Amino acid sequence: RTLRMVSRIKSDTGVDAAAHLTCVGATRDEVDAVVRGYREAGISRIVALRGDPPEGIGQPFTPHPQGYQNAADLVAGIRGIGDFDISVAAYPERHPQSPDWDTDIENLKRKLGAGAARAITQMFFDNDDYFRFVDRARKAGITAPIVPGIQPIHSFKQISGFAARCGASVPDWLAQRFEGLEEDPETHALVASAVAAEQVLELVDHGITEFHFYTLNRSNLVLALARLLGVRPS
Tens of pLDDT along 123-154?
999 999 999 999 999 999 999 999 999 999 99
CA 182 – CA 185 distance, rounded (Å): 7
Q: Which residue has the higher pLDDT, 216 or 104?
A: 104
Grade residue 171 by pLDDT with cuts at 50, 70 and 90: very high
Residue 213: the pLDDT is 93
Q: Taking residues 50-66, report their average pLDDT.
A: 72
Q: Is the pLDDT of residue 181 over 80?
A: yes
Q: Taking residues 188-208, report their average pLDDT.
A: 93
Domain range list for the chain = 1-152+209-218
- Which is it for the CA torsion 96, 102, 108, 114, positive or negative? negative
> Would you tell me how many other CB atoms lie within 10 Å of the CB of residue 71?
22
CA 150 – CA 85 distance, rounded (Å): 21
Q: Is the pLDDT of residue 170 over 90?
A: yes
Tens of pLDDT along 43-52?
999 999 988 7
Cα separations (Å) of 15 from 41, 42, 43?
Answer: 14, 12, 10
Q: Is the pLDDT of residue 113 over 70?
A: yes
On whether the pTM is more than 0.95, the answer is no
Range with the poorest average pLDDT among 10-14, 96-100, 134-138: 10-14
Q: Which residue has the higher pLDDT, 181 or 219?
A: 181
> What single string gives the DSSP state of each residue in 84-134?
-EEEEEE-TT--TT-SSHHHHHHHHHHHHHTT--EEEEEE-S-HHHHHHHH
Q: Report the topology of domain 1-152+209-218.
A: TIM Barrel (3.20.20)
Tens of pLDDT along 18-39?
999 998 889 999 999 999 999 9
pLDDT cut 70: percent of the chain above it: 96
